[in-house]
A and B are shown apart, each in its own frame.
Chain A
Amino acid sequence: GENVEQHPSTLSVQEGDSAVIKCTYSDSASNYFPWYKQELGKGPQLIIDIRSNVGEKKDQRIAVTLNKTAKHFSLHITETQPEDSAVYFCAVFTGGGNKLTFGTGTQLKVEL
């Protein structure tokens, strides 16, 4: 089955700095790559996604890049703010299994 690795597991940055979280996957047939933000006591919130025919996607301070050849994708958050502090999960969809496989999560802390 699909295997998704996510790094780092924890990330601490100063407010205003950039944060980058990386995920690698194993199944070359994977074609959809969402990122979720989970705040304490809440469900995962979809923040950005990318499909296999696109290399990069931006939404204000958030961007995702995809390298299908190397089978990895990354979340980039610029000008971080305290409210960005949360756990971030990457996920991979593989059509054959018709399900999302999640990474293990990254605890992001933005310090003042």
Chain B
Amino acid sequence: DSGVTQTPKHLITATGQRVTLRCSPRSGDLSVYWYQQSLDQGLQFLIQYYNGEERAKGNILERFSAQQFPDLHSELNLSSLELGDSALYFCASSVGLAGVYEQYFGPGTRLTVT
């Protein structure tokens, strides 16, 4: 158990809908990262927050957004969902910024868009 928690574990929704994925980092970790894992794209970095501020952006679609709250938990919002958004979404956390500290991953949320 990495100490990173994610809810929900599974999510099934229809195209065009909006969902929110939640992540709680390990105790003491200030950075939160979101990744998407699909069969054809592998593990892709989406976005990073450090102590409430956005610090890095990857290949995140405009339909996706995230935020980190004062208690350091983070939410990833996915809107106008398409079939191709079906994937595993992972949250990871680290004490500081990546490259200095290790990233620990949560168990993931499996999103299925029908």
Show the binding face of A for B, using Cβ within 8 Å: 31-32, 34, 36, 42-46, 49, 89, 93-95, 97-105
Contacts of B56 in A (CB 8 A): 97-99
Q: How far is the CA of A95 from the CA of B108 in the complex (A)?
A: 25
B98 touches which of A32, A42, A89, A102 (Cβ 8 Å): A32
Asked if residues A99 and B48 are in contact (CB atoms below 8 Å), the reply is yes
Contacts of A31 in B (CB 8 A): 99
Asked if residues B99 and A43 are in contact (CB atoms below 8 Å), the reply is no
Asked if residues A93 and B2 are in contact (CB atoms below 8 Å), the reply is no
Q: List 13 A-B contacts (CB under 8 A).
A: A31-B99, A34-B103, A36-B105, A43-B2, A43-B4, A45-B2, A97-B56, A99-B45, A99-B48, A102-B42, A102-B43, A103-B42, A105-B43
**Separation in Å of the B99 CB from the closest CB of chain A?**
4
Q: How far is the CA of A95 from the CA of B42 in the complex (A)?
A: 21
Asked if residues A44 and B105 are in contact (CB atoms below 8 Å), the reply is yes
Q: Which residue of B lies closest to A4 (CB)?
A: B42
Instruction: Say whether B102 faces chain A, with CB atoms less than 8 Å apart.
Output: yes
Instruction: Say whether B106 faces chain A, with CB atoms less than 8 Å apart.
Output: yes
Contacts of A32 in B (CB 8 A): 98-100
How many contacts between A and B, using CB within 8 angstroms?
56
Q: How far is the CA of A46 from the CA of B104 in the complex (A)?
A: 7
Asked if residues A95 and B105 are in contact (CB atoms below 8 Å), the reply is no
Q: Which residue of B lies closest to A42 (CB)?
A: B107
User: CB-CB contacts of B81-114 with A at 8 A, as 1s and 0s?
Assistant: 0000000001000000111101111111000000
The residue in B45, B55, B56 that gathers the most chain A C-beta atoms within 10 A of its C-beta is: B45
Contacts of A34 in B (CB 8 A): 102-103
Q: How far is the CA of A97 from the CA of B59 in the complex (A)?
A: 12
Q: How far is the CA of A26 from the CA of B44 in the complex (A)?
A: 17
Asked if residues B99 and A98 are in contact (CB atoms below 8 Å), the reply is yes
Q: How far is the CA of A46 from the CA of B99 in the complex (A)?
A: 14
Asked if residues A89 and B43 are in contact (CB atoms below 8 Å), the reply is yes
**Separation in Å of the B70 CB from the closest CB of chain A?**
22
